[in-house]
Structures are given as C-alpha cells and as structure tokens.
C-alpha cells in the first residue's frame, strides 16, 4: 500500500460521517441503526435516505445471507502447472550442465514449452546458480549463424567452380553497367571509398539494393551469404548492413549532384529524351522523434506530419526519373524548379524544352523567370473564390467543347473558356476547363500562346504519369522506407532511385512488350529468377532457370554473348538459358 502525507483529522471524520460511495453509505447507515440504536428517521435524514427507502434497505439487510460491503482481494493462482510439470526435467538437465536456452529448447521438443526466463526462475527457486559463460567450442553442437567474411576487394578471387544464386536476374544489368561505365560515375562524383571497398564497388553494392527491391538496408542480411550478390559487386563478400547504412554519411549534396550529372552524360539520349518533363514534390513520411524533421503534407494519409520533402523530375516520354533533391527545407520549395533548370543547363548545355507541374510547385514570380528563359510550361492556377465566381458568371455561349484523343479516358469532351492574364508582370494564357472529371473547374496556365487547347489539355492529362511513377517508386523501390532523418542521406538514396529507374528503363526497352511496363512488373517477370553460375577459363556463365517469361529473354539479344567485365579481373560474362533440368 502506498504511503503518502497524513490527512487532517476532520477529513478522516468526514470519510466516516459523509461516505461518498453507495456501499460505504449503506454500511454506515445500517451500523448507526442496528449497533448504535439511532431511530430510523434520524439515520435516514443523516445519510440522505427517505424513511421508507431506509426501512426497505434494513428489511433486505436482515434477510440477506451474505451481505457484501467490502471488496476482498482476489488472489492469483497459487500453483504454476507448466513450471510444476517441467520442474523435474529442468533440474535433471541443469545437473547435466545445460544452459537455460538449451533447457528451453528441450522442453519445446517435449511439448512442454517454457521460455528461458521461466526456466531461469525455476532454477533460482531450486537454488541453482547461473552457469559461467562458455566458449563456443564448449557448447553443444547446434545450428548457429554462419560467420561471413568481411568484404574486401583484395580477397576477391574467381576459382573454378559452380554455385546457385537467388539473385540471377541481377546479371541482366551487368552488361548495361559495363557499357555505361558505372565505375567512372563513382570517380566523377568523388564518392568515398577505401582499400577494402573502393568507391565503384560501394556504388554497385548500394545500387544492387535498389535493383533487387530490398526495402531496408538491414534486410540485406537475408542475402548476405549469396555468392551471386557478391559477384555482382565484384567483392569476395557483400557488405553488411552496418557499412551500407553508414556509407552515405560521407556524401554531401555536391557529390550527389555530380553523380546525377555524370549519369546524364552517359545515358542522355536513350533514357532522357528531353522533350518534356513532369515535376512534382513527394513527402517521405518519418515516424521517429527528431526535432530537425519538418512537417509536410503527405498525400497518402491526407494530413501534415513529419516527413522529408523530395523534389523529382521525370522524363515524360521514357518515364525515367532524371533529377532528385531531398535536401530541402521549408521556404526553399518554390526555387527548386530553377535549380532543376540550372542543373539541366549545366549538364546538357541548353534549357529544358518543356515543363509540366501543378499549382503548388512554385510562385508566380518564378513563373515569370521561367518565361523569361523562353521555356514553355503548363501548370495549374489555384481556385480562389474570386476565380470560381468569375467562372460561374460566364455566359453559356462563352464555352467551347473539344474532344481529347485519349481512348482510355472517361471524360473526353471537356468544355473550356480561354483568357489572357498577366501575373507578376508575365503575360500568360489562362484556360478554364469543366467536365474534366473533377467537381470543381480546372484552371490551366501556360506561356504557350500558339498551342491549341486540345494539345494543352492532352499533355497536362499525361502528367498523371509521374503520379504512377511515384506509386511504383513507393511500392517497388521503397521510396517511403526512409533511410534517415538527415535530408542529405535521403538525397543520396533518391539519386540511387534515379539510377535504378534509368537502368530498368534501358533493360525494359530490350524486352519485347515491356517498354512501358513499371519496374515492379519487370522485376516480377524477368529479374526475380535464380540462376546457376559456373566459373571456368576466363568466362563466367550464368544459366537462368526455366521460367514462363524466358522466351522474352531469349528474344532480347542479351544471351549467348561474351561481355568483358572490368571488375572481374579480366573475366567475361555470358548469359544463357538452361533448357533442361539437371538430374
């Protein structure tokens, strides 16, 4: 019973004379009537009863067999059936010098399960002291976790042999990595490295997590013993989760931007058509406790919560992400469109040809700067009460109807009214649109004064492709699996997302029927497959197991070709299909 400060005597007297609980009040009233002999009328008046109701209370009390006024404590079980049944066996095993974990495992096999803590309690009650800590060679022979070697490129060797890997589909990307000279990307960005794990090997290891859709870096431990994953990175063993988690600590925004710029130099024409770009923000939710993480609107939950804001640019034709930045703070969002334009100018020597984004991406002042650069854009204008009133008051004769050439769209005949407006000193074209599938009208803003309304509406409707790409990035590349509360670390993770997205697009273009497929479908059908790896001579042969979509690989032209791999000590890669199962 807890002990507190002493109560005043008057408060103690009031506890008995003015009971607050119903049972307590009945007890004191009946005691005053039967023990102290006070008249029923006085007792009833003193304790708040009418005389008649008090007589009824006394009548029931005299006839009740076991009246209950006080709660008796309920005692718990005085015996422990599981511990009692296993006590003799526990004592017998401890006399044979078995530990609590071994005893617990033995009890589980005898269908009398007890946790190690429960076993320890039984032994303590029996007077047994804890066993001294034993070395591994003194313990009984039981299956234990394997001790994998430390990743060290100096220990990398390719002796003749064969093995089976769970990650066979990763080798479909090796040819692209060789052709795109991924090693030079690491050097151009000056990524950190060491003698044990050079920068190019670290980049391949980090990229492998994205390509294989590993949600968190800790999940790599389930594949750490797979020799195929280590062979892909060019190491004797794949790096552990501690190294992969800490690697981005040495990478700042300049190195991440340099990595993206070097990536653009190698894949500019085949991955980034550059004709038009979809721009958008995405909030990566954060569920920890950190004062540096700001609150942003998370569309998946329709609320503001702690999250890391990411800016993304997507090539409209190839659907590949070409730019990302997660090192953003509140107040900097509006200028990120200008940062992307400057990045594209530095990398490609020209302004972006066309931009499409929504109303919250930037300000009217920045729109004027974009227009001054002669960059065409399409965006939305926020629906203010004044604009909505203006739309309602428009005469019916002012509206025109067009038909969109989008066969899959339900609302294909929207109505529109076109106007010329000036915002922040910039002359723009404003189009009110109704019957586009929204309850409220859509307000388009553009500096394309000669494009037809039909072309503008069709192009903006295609902006939903970035929403689909973001959904694919969340589900397959695990974009919402926040790697850190530090934006710079998330920034490198987003750069890896851009690289992995581009690699999936290059591979998809070689697979018949998969040019527009999302990454998770490509992975499910073509990448996620085991393979047999054989090393002999100066060639490494990867034989894919039989799968339903194997004919797609056979028609891709990637198989039965020797590709020299620089990080394999002069060995070449040959992909082939295993047609017959070995017995």
C-beta separation of 29 from 43 below 8 A: yes
Contact (CB, 8 A) for 186 and 203: yes
Give the model confidence (pLDDT) of 554-564 as tens digits: 888 889 999 99
126-130, 437-441, 447-451, range with the lowest pLDDT: 437-441
pLDDT at 583: 38
Question: pLDDT value at position 540?
Answer: 94
Q: What average pLDDT does range 132-144 have in this prediction?
A: 77
Q: What's the token pair of residue 495?
A: 């750069």
> How far apart (Å, rounded) are the C-alpha atoms in residues 106 and 100?
10
What's the predicted TM-score (pTM) here? 0.74
Give the tens place of pLDDT for each residue, 418-443: 999 999 999 999 999 998 877 889 99
**Nearest to residue 173, comparing CAs of 122, 209, 140?**
209
Q: What is the pLDDT of residues 376-403, one digit of tens each?
A: 999 999 888 999 999 999 998 999 998 8
- Residue 484's pLDDT band, with cuts at 50, 70 and 90, is low
Q: Say whether 426 sits in a helix, a strand or coil.
A: strand
Q: Computed from CA positions of residues 207, 211, 216, 222, in that sequence, does the dihedral angle turn out positive or negative?
A: negative
Q: What is the distance between the alpha carbons of residues 317 and 326, in angstroms, rounded to a whole number?
A: 24
For 365, half-sphere exposure in the C-beta direction (CA atoms, 13 angstrom radius) is: 2
Q: What is the pLDDT of residue 570?
A: 87
The whole-angstrom distance between residue 310's C-alpha and the CA centroid of its chain comes to 14
Higher pLDDT, 336 or 15: 336
Nearest to 26 by CA among 51, 49, 42: 49
**pLDDT per residue over 182-221, tens digit each?**
889 999 999 999 999 999 999 999 999 999 988 777 788 8
Tokens 């920890």 belong to 288
For the cut 80, the answer to whether the pLDDT of residue 114 exceeds it is yes
Name the β-bridge partners of 456: none
For residue 434, how many other CB atoms are within 10 A of its CB?
18
- Does residue 535 contact residue 525 with C-beta atoms inside 8 Å? no
Which comes out higher in pLDDT, residue 29 or 483?
Answer: 29
Percent over 70 (pLDDT), the chain: 95
Helix (H, G, I), strand (E, B) or coil at 314: strand
Query: Of the ranges 75-84, 191-200, 237-246, 550-559, which is most confident?
Result: 191-200
Choose which CATH entry (3.40.50, 1.10.357, 1.10.10, 1.25.40) describes domain 9-63.
Answer: 1.10.10
Pairing of strands 355-356, 277-285: parallel
- Interatomic CA distance for residues 136 and 49, integer angstroms: 77
Q: 238 burial class (0-12, 13-18, 19+ CB within 10 angstroms)? A: buried
What pLDDT band is residue 487 in, cutting at 50, 70 and 90? low
């Amino acid at each position: 019973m807890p002990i507190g400060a002493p109560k005043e005597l008057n408060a103690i007297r009031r506890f008995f004379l003015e009971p607050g609980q119903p049972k307590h009040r009945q007890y004191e009233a009946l005691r005053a009537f039967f023990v102290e002999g006070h008249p029923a009328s006085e007792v009833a008046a003193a304790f708040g009863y009418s005389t008649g109701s008090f007589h009824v209370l006394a009548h029931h009390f005299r006839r009740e067999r076991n009246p209950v006024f006080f709660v008796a404590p309920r005692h718990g079980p005085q015996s422990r059936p599981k511990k009692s049944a296993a006590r003799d066996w526990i004592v017998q095993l401890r006399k044979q010098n078995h530990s609590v974990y071994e005893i617990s495992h033995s009890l589980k096999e005898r269908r009398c399960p007890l946790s190690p803590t429960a076993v320890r309690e039984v032994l303590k009650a029996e007077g047994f002291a804890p066993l001294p800590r034993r070395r591994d060679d003194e313990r009984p022979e039981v299956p234990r976790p394997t001790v994998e070697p430390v990743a060290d490129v100096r220990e990398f060797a390719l002796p003749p042999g064969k093995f089976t890997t769970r990650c066979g589909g990763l080798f479909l990307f090796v040819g692209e990595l060789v052709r795109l000279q991924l090693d030079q990307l690491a050097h151009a960005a000056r990524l950190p490295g060491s003698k044990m794990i050079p920068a190019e090997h670290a980049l391949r290891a980090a990229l492998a997590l994205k390509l294989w859709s590993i949600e968190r870096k800790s999940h790599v431990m389930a594949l750490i013993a797979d020799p195929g994953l280590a062979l892909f990175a060019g190491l004797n063993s794949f790096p552990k989760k501690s190294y992969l988690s800490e690697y981005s600590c040495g990478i700042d925004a300049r190195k991440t931007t340099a990595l993206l710029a070097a990536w653009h130099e190698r894949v500019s024409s085949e991955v980034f058509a550059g004709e038009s770009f979809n721009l958008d923000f995405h909030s990566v939710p954060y569920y920890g406790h950190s004062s540096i993480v700001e609150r942003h609107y998370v569309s998946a939950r329709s609320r503001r919560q702690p999250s890391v804001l990411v800016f993304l640019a997507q090539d409209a034709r190839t659907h590949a992400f070409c730019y990302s930045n997660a090192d953003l703070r509140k107040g900097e969002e509006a200028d990120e469109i200008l940062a992307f334009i400057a990045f594209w100018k530095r990398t490609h020597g020209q302004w972006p040809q066309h931009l499409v984004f929504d109303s919250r991406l930037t300000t009217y002042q920045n729109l004027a700067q974009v227009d001054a650069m002669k960059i065409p854009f399409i965006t939305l204008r926020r629906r203010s009460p004044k604009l909505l009133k203006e739309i309602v008051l428009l005469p019916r004769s002012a509206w025109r109807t067009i038909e969109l050439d989008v066969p899959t769209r339900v609302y294909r005949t929207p109505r529109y009214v076109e106007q010329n407006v000036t915002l922040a000193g910039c002359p723009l074209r404003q189009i009110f649109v109704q019957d586009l599938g929204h309850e409220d009208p859509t307000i388009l803003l553009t500096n394309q004064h000669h494009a037809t309304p039909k072309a503008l509406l069709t192009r903006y409707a295609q902006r939903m492709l970035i929403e689909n790409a973001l959904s694919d990035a969340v589900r397959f590349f695990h974009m919402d699996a926040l790697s850190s509360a530090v934006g710079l670390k998330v920034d490198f993770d987003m750069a890896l997302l851009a690289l992995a997205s581009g690699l999936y697009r290059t591979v998809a273009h070689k697979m018949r029927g998969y040019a527009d497929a999302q990454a998770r479908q490509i992975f499910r059908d073509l990448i996620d497959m085991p393979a047999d790896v054989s090393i002999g001579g100066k060639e490494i042969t990867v034989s894919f197991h039989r799968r339903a979509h194997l004919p797609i690989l056979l028609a891709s032209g990637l198989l039965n070709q020797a590709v020299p791999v620089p990080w394999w000590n002069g060995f070449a890669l040959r992909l082939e299909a295993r047609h017959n199962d070995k017995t």
